[in-house]
Amino acid sequence: MESKKCTSCGALMQKPEDFGKEKNGEASAEYCSRCWQDGTFTDWAVSANLEVSTE
């Protein structure tokens, strides 16, 4: 698996567990596991990145 950077926090994602999870259980291509779980931003990501729209 190629390494990518989280679009939200910039963390390097290399291992499968570094990637966030979509609602369907697939790995997110955009966000790390700290920012993205079950297809949505985590509380951590929202508080760490105030530019994220929370609606």
Chain contacts with Zn ion (rule: CB under 5 A) = 6, 8-9, 11, 32, 35
**Nearest approach, Cβ of 10 to Zn ion (angstroms)?**
7
The CA distance from 23 to 27, in Å, is: 9
The CA distance from 17 to 19, in Å, is: 5
**Nearest approach, Cβ of 49 to Zn ion (angstroms)?**
8
24 or 37: whose CB is closer to Zn ion?
Answer: 37
Q: Which long-range contacts (CB under 8 A, 24 or more apart) does 18-23 make?
A: none
**Nearest approach, Cβ of 31 to Zn ion (angstroms)?**
5
